Amino acid sequence: MTGVPAPAADATSVQLDTVVFDLGGVLADWDPRYLYRELFDGDEVAMERFLTEVCTPAWNHAMDAGRSRAEAVAELVGQYPDDARLIQAWVDRWDDMLGEEIAGTADVVAELYGRGVRLLALTNWSAETFPVARERFASFAYFEAIVVSGEHGLAKPDPALYRILLDQHEVDPGRTAYIDDRDTNVEAAAALGMTGLVFTDPISLRADLVALGLLG
């Protein structure tokens, strides 16, 4: 894990008491390959082409930013009618893209909670699918609040989404660590004064939180 110190905060002198987690890829395992590997009968090349050229990360990001799934699917089917069945599966079988809770991160969350650290989450997630994830992942219950991008029509790394978290939940960025698996999202948090940590694995995460004085 690589720490990205916030420009307005010195983690060596400021006592951190709040941690904000990203969810997908940090605490919740989500990957469309769990579904499409089956739909492509194990043809990795064809599957990767589809996920790169048709159901792209940018297309999914638009739904995280508030676009309706019905509209997104309809437009894409219009562009790629031969792939209509595969595109529709993104909605019909979305649950099959969810993996398990990332156990090591869940343990870290529970330990932070037990030490009285304030916990919040800021996630890029479609408002239409997030309720399914909330039901599946038990560790989400540890968070005082979860700001979901799709509910606000914004997505990380847009600073406006971070400000919703900071303002609505009275979060002091100088006392807050922010954890995300995407560098650009961590950099956006650091620019607003948070101490940023790029997530790579739960063991490194725990070590960084110990170094920051949030875990013993």
Average pLDDT over residues 29-50: 97
pLDDT digits (tens, 9 = 90+) for 67-118: 999 999 999 999 999 999 999 999 999 999 999 999 999 999 999 999 999 9
**How much is the pLDDT for 13?**
55
Regarding pTM above 0.85, the answer is yes
Q: Which has the higher per-residue pLDDT, 1 or 114?
A: 114
CA angle 51, 199, 17 (to 5 degrees): 135
pLDDT at 67: 97
Superfamily of domain 2-27+102-211: HAD superfamily/HAD-like (3.40.50.1000)
Percent of the chain with pLDDT over 70: 94
> Would you kindly state where each structural domain of the chain is located, as residue ranges?
2-27+102-211, 31-98
